[in-house]
Amino acid sequence: MTDVNHKLDLGRLESVDAWGMASRAPGYVYRPVNVEGICGVYSAATAAHKTIGLRGAGCSYGDASLNSEGIVLDLTRMNRIIDWDPQLGLITVEPGVTIRQLWQYVIEDGWWPMVVSGTMFVTIGGAASMNIHGKNNWKVGPIGDHILRFTMMTYEGKHLECSRESNSELFHAAIGGFGMFGAFTSITLQLKHVSSGLLDVEAVATKNFDHLFEVFESRLDDSDYLVGWVDCFGSGSGLGRGLVHRANYLHEGDDLESIQTLRVVNQELPDAIMGLLPKSVVWRLMQPATNNPGVRAVNFAKFISGAKLSDGQWHHQSHAGFAFLLDYVPNWKKAYGPKGLIQYQSFIPVASAKETFKTQLTICQRYGIVPYLGVFKRHRADDFLMSHAVNGYSMALDFSLGNCDRGSLLSLTAELDRTVLDAGGRFYPAKDSTLSASSFQESLGKETVATFRELKSKHDPAGIFQTNLSRRLI
């Protein structure tokens, strides 16, 4: 047994960061390597009357895996692949396995995760706990739709196996339940068969929101992935201008060099930008331009060059290259400066999405707090209890805290919250830093909140699993 101390080890107090660096909290951090180690941490929590916040790679933008003055149970060292069936594409992993580890392990056998986030550094436990979505959410649903079963260690020491057939209620609540019921200890996923390491990719420049929606809607039926970049500085007839990237799997037999393109080495992101600049220094070069005039100019240049280059031509890109664009520049978040950034992502039903996003950007521009990055996606509803997705669209907005004071930003996001609630939309705990309990609960509805509370008292009656986010929202 590792980490079994049964007494709180005061030497474990660390300052734990939110990914966006806009908040941090002291916590007693334990990193067990197996289930016995988890039990030891539970015992230490009992002995010290402490709560436990579960943590994966800490890639949630806000306070989802912070636990002020409590225990932080970091599962990144439980990172073994338990079982792999390359015929069926079924894999069972420990919760600390990252998406990077996962795709690197399976791709040479012709498989790829059904759902990945914009960064490959998240753990499967963290991904399941937030029920992450990819650029194909409208088509394949969230990661939970591809989880066949998981085992979970409750605080009372029960090791529960959950699936759609067994403990189904807990299955649908814990996936997307932001770590409130217990620690996932193993997760079984169905992967996607791919016959090539390449995707067919098309880029389309979009003049404004009307055009952006048109481009998405007209491509939904024959695309595998769709994602939009929004230049949030565009205004007037250019409000919501940007670029859409669409990608499709190659058909069986299309890639004559599939053995090579499916090799990990041919998926890896380049070490240097434009073959020259080492990636590790790029964020430092970005920093002087990460302010209003700088981002306005860079966005404009990106939009103009995108409009020139993206004339409906297709090109090939590796799966990793397309999926993990945000990983091209390591530590890019540091370009935002020491105050960091927060992200605001809202999910709006189809009927009101366009008007709501127009209103949201107009509000940001009125405040003079313009997001430096806007990302646009299409979604579908799913049957997980705390689902953040709707049949509609989401827009994720990155706000720099170096560019505004926190008070003004909070007033701004409170106005944005109202637009989401009025439209019957949803929020995403993985991205949230600003939401109030009343807005979050209004978005979920009374019945969902009541079911969540019921399940919480059934599986965690002492309320041991908590995080700063859960105390703020529910």
Ligand X SMILES: Cc1cc2nc3c(=O)[nH]c(=O)nc-3n(C[C@H](O)[C@H](O)[C@H](O)COP(=O)(O)OP(=O)(O)OC[C@H]3O[C@@H](n4cnc5c(N)ncnc54)[C@H](O)[C@@H]3O)c2cc1C
> Which residues are at the interface with ligand X (CB under 6 A)?
19, 53-60, 64-65, 75, 95, 117-119, 122-123, 125-127, 129-130, 132-133, 178-179, 183-184, 326, 430, 467
The two tokens of residue 292 are 């209003």
Give every CB contact of residue 414 below 8 A, 6+ residues apart in sequence. 434, 436
Nearest 5 degrees, angle CA 457-CA 463-CA 469? Answer: 115
Round to whole Å and give the CA distance between 325 and 92. 27
Q: How far apart are CA 157 and CA 391, in angstroms?
A: 38
Shortest spacing between CB 242 and ligand X, in angstroms: 17
CA-based end-to-end distance of the chain = 34
Amino acid identity, residue 339?
K
Q: How far is the CB of 35 from ligand X (least distance, A)?
A: 11
SS3 336: helix
- The least distance separating ligand X from the CB of residue 304, rounded to whole angstroms, comes to 26
Nearer to ligand X, 419 or 467 (CB): 467
Query: How far from 139 is each of 136, 203, 223, CA to CA, in Å?
Result: 5, 19, 9
For residue 270, what is the DSSP state? P
Q: What is the rounded distance in angstroms from the CA atom of residue 66 to the CA atom of residue 72? A: 7
Q: Which is nearer to ligand X, 117 or 360 (CB)?
A: 117
Give the angle 107-109-115 at the CA atoms, nearest 5°.
40
Decide whether 238 or 330 has the Cβ nearer to ligand X. Answer: 330
Q: Which is nearer to ligand X, 255 or 398 (CB)?
A: 398
For the CB of residue 30, give the shortest distance to ligand X in the complex, in Å: 13
CB of 343 to ligand X, least distance (A): 8
| Complex with ligand X: residue 19 or 249, whichever CB lies closer | 19
Query: Smallest gap, in angstroms, from Cβ of residue 432 to ligand X?
Result: 10
The torsion angles phi and psi of 237, rounded to 5 degrees, stand at -75, -5
Report the residue number, 130 or 416, with the smaller CB distance to ligand X: 130
